[in-house]
Amino acid sequence: MHIKARHYFTTGRVAFIFLLIYSLLPSRFSPAHDFVRREDMIPHLLFSKSNNDSCEIGVVDNRSMMFRYPDLGSIDSAEDSALRSGISPGGRWRPTRCRARVDVAIVVPYRGRGRQLVTFLAYMHPFLQSQQLDYQIIVVEQSPGGDFNRGKLFNVGFVELASSNFSCFVFHDVDLLPQSRDNVYACGRRSPRHMSSAVNTFRYTLPWPESFGGVVALSEAQFRDVNGFANVYEGWGGEDSDMRDRVVSKGYEVNAYKSF
Residue 244 backbone zone (phi > 0: left; psi -120 to 50: alpha; other: beta): alpha
Q: Is residue 21 assigned to a domain? A: no
Return the SS3 of 218.
strand
Q: Is residue 9 assigned to a domain? A: no
Q: Is residue 52 assigned to a domain? A: yes
- Residue 44 to residue 37: CA distance in whole angstroms: 10
Number of domains present in the structure of the chain: 1
- Residue 92 to residue 209: CA distance in whole angstroms: 35
Using the predicted structure, report yes or no on whether residue 249 has a pLDDT greater than 90: yes
- Residue 216 to residue 254: CA distance in whole angstroms: 10
The pairing of beta strand 103-110 with beta strand 134-141: parallel
CA 86 distance to own-chain centroid: 24
Q: Is residue 34 assigned to a domain? A: yes
- Residue 215 to residue 172: CA distance in whole angstroms: 5
Domain that holds residue 73: 30-257
Quick one: pLDDT at residue 76?
Answer: 64
User: Would you say 215 and 247 are in contact if contact means Cβ atoms under 8 Å apart?
Assistant: no
pTM of the entire structure?
A: 0.79
Residue 67 sits in a domain of what CATH number? 3.90.550.10
Among 25-29, 52-56, 110-114, 172-176, the range scoring the smallest mean pLDDT is 25-29
Quick one: pLDDT at residue 37?
Answer: 64
